[in-house]
A and B are shown apart, each in its own frame.
Chain A
Amino acid sequence: MIQTLRKLWRNPGGLHLAENKDISTQCPSRQIPLAAQLVIPLLQHAGEKPKVVTNVNVGAYVYKGQTLAVAQSNNSVNVHATTSGTISAIELRPIAHPSGLHDLCVVLMPDGKDAWGDSRLPAYPNYTEIDPAILRQRVKDAGVVGMGGAVFPSAVKLNVRPDKPIRTLILNGAECEPYISCDDMLMREQAAEIVAGAQVMMHMVKPQECLIGVEDNKPYAIAAMQAAVDAAQDSRIQVVAVPTLYPSGGAKQLTFILTGKEVPSGGRSSDIGVVCNNVATARAIYHAVVHGEPSLSRYVTVTGNGIAQPCNLEVPFGTPISHLAAHAGGTTPQAKRWRMGGPMMGITLHDPAVPVVKAMNCLLINDELEHTQAAMPCIRCGRCTDACPTSLLPQQLYWFARAKEFDKAKAHHLSDCIECGCCEYVCPSHIPLVSYYRFAKAEIRAERTAKVKADLARERHEFHLERLERAKREKAEKLAKHKEQAQTTTDDSKKAAIQAALDRAKAKKAEAAAQTLSEDTTA
């Protein structure tokens, strides 16, 4: 049934993992009643935090889709109320962060009406007649970000530079992490909207082809997507089944598998003529452009042996994760650990009040505890090297991170690590390798920020000195000029005065002489 007509490329490394996806795909996805309280974080994306708009205050009534906060830069998007109700607080609340960080959130008490009011944006059903720049602005206004987990503002990705034309638009339906099935269910149930979203994006980036990459462990999704593509009768779009091998769902990995091209280190996929977006992002773009609806909800997989009825739910952003668990049959005695994302790349959550955000594809509740086995010394066995999909030397990076030799870590391409966790998974010494890389990356970032700051300060200081110097120099120059001028002026005026006096004397003399002469003549 699954056929691949295209040539596919094989990534190095990777792992065959126990998938555990079936447990959450037994029933169709569903919606659940609104929670009593929604906590909407302002920062749900990579980039700058948007600013709360003036008429959003505690006590204010907001409609569904109403803008709560506005992007302040290109690297940001708007944030919206995900249902109608009253704002009860704008304050710091715990958010989905591994360290249990608090961040600014708008707390919304739903009125149950789920009323849009007039907060829908103008719909563009005939978007092909509209300038892509306007559509990009729409995508940004609608708060659409990459829903594969990286939550990068989509408008930035869709901004094609004229010198870097896009050849291939990739829709990422590979979803390789164990347990997660939200993209699978989305593709099964909303294939037509995903394809329509792909067409909107194609209008914006003008690629020659659109490849929808789906791991071949999702036969129903592949069939549904294929049917939707056939129905759309768009010959540019092709559904491609890719072999199931973690982490094929990484954007860089999928790009290579489908095109044989590598995103340059430190560069962007547009450098090689590729734009890669998650299938859920495509659907959000479709809603934003064709229906004028902001990004308000997403499919979330609620799964793990800590959950009585694992399933997929379509949930408004801001819903507390405890509400999800309650509507997935409740928790079981195995509910020891709550995690956002999959077992490989996810983060552990410490508060059941944490809200669902745009990055949350999965709520994994199970009894696995982190690092139950004590780490043993690295024996350089190289299993991590074999597993690394980026061809890094994880064991070397580990030494450098441990020894804080960050220059060496940089030289060994630490920045190209995608933190997929393959190395950590195969490590026979149970070393939490990814944590070491995150630590080293953070230190390098901090170092760079400090350096930029120091450079700026030095520049400012040098500029200040130079300004003082210049002021001094200019003053001296002015004085000198003044003096010189004064000098010349005095000399000239003296001469002139003397000359004038002489002239006057001469004239007087001449006058006197003339008078005498005339007197003589008269006499």
Chain B
Amino acid sequence: MIASKPDVSTLMQQVLYALIPGTLLLVWFFGWGIITNWVLAIGFALLFEALMLKWRQRPIEPFLLDYSAVLTAWLLAVAMPAFSPWWLIAVAMLFAIVIGKHLYGGLGYNPFNPAMVGYAAMLVSYPVQMTIWPEPVAFSFAHIGADQAFQKVFWGINTGWDALSGATPLDAVKVSLGLNKTLDDIYATGQFGLLSGEAWAWINVAWLSGGLWLLQRKVISWHMPVALLISLGGMAMIFWLINPQIYASPLFHLFGGAAMLGAFFIITDPVSASTTPMGKLIYAAGIGLFTYIIRTWGGYPDAIAFAVLIMNMAVPLIDYYTQPRVYGTKRSWLG
């Protein structure tokens, strides 16, 4: 009205910008696989988004240009294993955009985080494809050529791949612990480097830097990232202090998986998150708690997606009980 202010597409664009450093590092370590993920995810997302908008008789252009579908696609592209087959990306985007978003009424109406709906559906349906990442090798373009990448992604042809593929740090630790190894033994293999697997640690630092930029630009508020990282790190700290042979360190939990991506880019999706200041803290802390529980005692190595979906369900309740005290009214029991 008086001065310019950010609109929805500007906000989404800034989140996209903040994703660039982490994505570039992923490309650095995994090469063509991230690029194919990225192109396919965004392509399918825009296709499904346009089809759904047309079917629902909504104006297509303003909604495509709000970048929300692009953001969902980008998040899935960096969360899915590199060199994911094209159909896996397509089905993931179908779940995210069509089922997770438009069947609930489109932008602003979805109770669940669309990207996490897509991710969780794939994790449940295709656990093998979803947990095998290639070994991170710096500047992977040199190791796997574009032609090999396309063969893998589009025709599923493995040309000497198995030697290159492996588990993510979280998965490796989980599997090894299941074989009654101690963490010391696992770390002794030397595959994890300083924090949690060097490549993953660097990638997490990149997500963190993008997230801090978003905080500085006031695109997101501090509540959710801080609450998630404290809650996840705190849980890890408690159990690590109790028995460091069985329970991984806080640094491992914060830098070994999707904690930073989750804290700054996934749980901050405003549509499906709590919206009161106190509610944001509770919501994010709950995600941290569930992430730790599922990672440590649950069936899946990385657990952000399930934790987010669980807390999405609790949002209406949280919002109801965390209304701030309104000017001139008595203080309620919370908020």
Contact = CB atoms under 8 A, between A and B. Distances in A.
Contacts of A385: 275-277, 324
Interface string B1-21: 111011110110000000000
B328 A267 contact: yes
Contact of A17 (B2, B7, B11): B2
A391 B276 CA distance: 10
A396 B7 contact: no
B324 A428 contact: no
Interface stretch (B39-47, B105-113, B227-235): B105-113
Contact of A381 (B11, B66, B324, B328): B11
Contacts of B3: 17-18
Q: A-side binding surface: helix, strand, loop or mixed?
A: loop
Considering the complex of A and B, which 7 residue pairs feature the smallest CB-CB distances, nearest first? A377-B108, A265-B328, A381-B270, A391-B324, A390-B327, A413-B326, A265-B329
Interface of A: 12, 17-18, 20, 178, 252, 256, 262-267, 343-344, 368, 370, 373-374, 376-382, 385-386, 389-393, 395-396, 412-413, 416, 421, 424-426, 428-430
B15 to A, nearest CB: 11
A425 B2 contact: yes
A138 B8 CA distance: 54
B277 to A, nearest CB: 7
B106 A377 contact: yes
Contacts of A421: 1
A416 B327 contact: yes
B6 A428 contact: yes
Interface string B272-300: 01011100100000000000000000000
11 contacts: A373-B7, A377-B106, A380-B275, A385-B275, A385-B324, A386-B221, A393-B324, A395-B275, A396-B319, A416-B326, A429-B8
Contact of B327 (A18, A391, A425, A426): A391
Among B6, B109, B275, the most chain A Cβ lie within 10 Å of the Cβ of B275
Given A267-B328, A391-B325, A343 B107 contact: no
Interface residues of B, number: 32
Given A265-B329, A376-B62, A385-B276, 17 more contacts: A18-B3, A20-B2, A256-B327, A265-B328, A343-B2, A373-B7, A376-B7, A376-B8, A385-B277, A390-B327, A391-B324, A391-B325, A393-B276, A416-B327, A416-B329, A429-B7, A429-B8
B271 interface: yes
B317 to A, nearest CB: 14
A252 B328 contact: yes
B270 A425 contact: no
Nearest to B277: A385
B182 interface: no
B323 interface: yes
B326 A392 contact: yes
B221 A262 contact: no
A381 B273 CA distance: 9
Interface in B44-70: 62, 66, 68
Contacts of B11: 381, 428
A191 to B, nearest CB: 29
